[in-house]
Chain A
Amino acid sequence: MKSLKVRNLSKTYFDPYAGTKVTAVRDVSLEVPAGEFACIVGPSGCGKTTVLNLVAGFIPATSGEILLDECPVKGPGRDRGVVFQSFALFPWRTVLDNVAFGPKMRGIGKVEREKIAREYLALAKLSEAAGRYPNELSGGMQQRVGVARALANEPDVLLMDEPFASVDAQTRMTLQEELTRIWQQKRPTVLFITHDVAEAVFLGNRVIVLSKGQVLEQISVDLPRPRAWDALNEDDRFKALTGRVLQLVRSA
């Protein structure tokens, strides 16, 4: 696990239809220490997904730096695992082969990489689904595969782009609780993007509020772990924190 540092990151697009430049991310600086779970929350259009795409290396930054343990990164790479909102599983590979994909790209032999994949499938409670194809699974199960696939490659930082936005509410709560459990077990450095304030507070050690492409405020969340919805729904500190973050997001 490594720390993630973002320094003065900006992204400006040229909009050919409007004929003007659009600034999606403006001078964003943030730091996620190794092993911390940080959530970026903000209204739609605030640039949060752009920040993740920049950190993942999917799009080039206009200016600024992205550092993993002080080493600058460029382009996508296996040091930054990504979990997508649309799952982005390979439909032509079984669940097991999806999870084993990263190790395979690292040149790990078949027996060894399948052992790794089975270990992470067990972590995500998916052992029975190993031989099935992604389209045979429910959305919630597909995203567990997405998380297992990213973790099985042992990235330095885990980037998650609204991963639970396209599953139903009940499944989402289960997935959130499982993610906190897995995080406590493996302690990866996580940068989690969401528009859901309660989700951000529930999952994170820290919530970063983004507004109009800029960091508005950072709030640390010192709720005890393990976290569970049954307990937190009635928790005054949880309510106070979500209230405060919600206020910031709505004022943004």
Chain B
Amino acid sequence: MTLLLKAWGAYVRVSSRWPAIASIVPFIPVVALWWAVTALEIFPRVFLPGPAEVARTFADLVYKGILPEYLADSVVRLTVGAAWGIALGIPLGILIGLSKTAHRVLWPLLLFFQAIGDIAWLPILVIWFGYGLTTMTLVIVYTVIFPIVLNTVLGVRSIPINMHRAALSLGASRPRMLWEVVLPGALPNIITGLRNGLGYGWRALIAAEIIVGTSGIGFLMFDARRAGSVVEILLGMVILGMLWYIVDSWILAPVERATGERWGLVTR
């Protein structure tokens, strides 16, 4: 028992010194279990290939240039869609959060359209816009925008009224209040919305690529199913998880640490 505690203590020390270790070590038992299951051949190899085969396929597809190209396609689609979602979602959220009239008019519409899931739009979007970037961008924007709007509204509304009053009595004009009080005050919630929105958007993208795609990670996985290549499907799944992990820990988490957590608006 004491040995276990000591080992844990050492791990905590080492991983706080080198964060990279903390992000790799939890995966070791998972991969080991995967390897053990495949090595024991509990399932036929064709149905469940091992980590080594997936890694080999990874190297192979990178070498052929297919994987980098597909990955870039997926990431560009998500980035374009997310950028539009942010550019439209944050102002809309601020408008609904600040104006009672806007809230009254737009809130029911928002809830109605939120219920029509992203994928449910695909059939009609394919008829309107065909199989291309427009369709996929629209699906992603549609998915990303709702969590951003809803969380921005929440953030704007949770700013204490005295914060507005303090800024006004210090001479801030109404337009300046937006930049000086409303936006920073709502920022922690906006980031939460962004995190949810990007997560959903990433999933929607894979679904869209499976259905309408001609490239991308989702297409890679669906194409592999057609060819009966389980190893490529597994590779696609691993890449999805890894990519999201990178987006979250390299982009979203540092922004959160520098804003809400630093200001004491979000508890760690």
Contacts and interface: CB of A to CB of B under 8 A. Distances in A.
A and B interact physically:
yes
A81 B170 contact: yes
A161 B240 CA distance: 54
A80 B169 contact: yes
B165 A58 contact: yes
Given A90-B184, A92-B184, A78 B259 contact: no
B169 A91 contact: no
Contacts of A88: 160, 162-163, 165-166
Residue picked from B162, B166, B168, B184, most chain A C-beta under 10 Å = B166
Nearest to B176: A105
Contacts, number: 74
Interface stretch (B12-20, B100-108, B260-268): B260-268
Given A82-B165, A135-B263, A92 B171 contact: no
Contacts of B80: none
Residue picked from B162, B163, B181, B185, most chain A C-beta under 10 Å = B162
A202 interface: no
A135 B264 contact: yes
B160 A105 contact: no
Contact of B170 (A57, A58, A91, A101): A101
Interface string B168-205: 11111100100011001101000000000000000000
A163 interface: no
B125 interface: no
Contacts of A136: 264
Contact of B169 (A56, A90, A92): A56
Contact of B187 (A75, A81, A92, A150): A92
A78 B165 contact: no
A213 interface: no
Contacts of A89: 166
Contact of B160 (A78, A81, A86, A134): A86
Given A82-B166, A88-B163, A153 B263 contact: no
B83 interface: no
A35 interface: no
B165 A76 contact: yes
B167 interface: yes
A78 B264 contact: no
Interface string A105-123: 1100000000000000000
A57 B171 CA distance: 12
A213 B166 CA distance: 25
B166 A106 contact: no
A84 interface: yes
22 contacts: A56-B165, A76-B165, A76-B169, A81-B170, A82-B165, A82-B169, A84-B162, A86-B160, A88-B162, A88-B165, A90-B163, A90-B167, A91-B264, A101-B167, A101-B172, A101-B180, A102-B170, A105-B170, A106-B171, A133-B263, A134-B263, A135-B265
Given A90-B166, A135-B265, 6 more contacts: A81-B169, A92-B263, A101-B167, A101-B170, A101-B172, A133-B263
Interface of A: 56-58, 75-78, 80-82, 84, 86, 88-92, 101-102, 105-106, 133-136, 149-150, 153
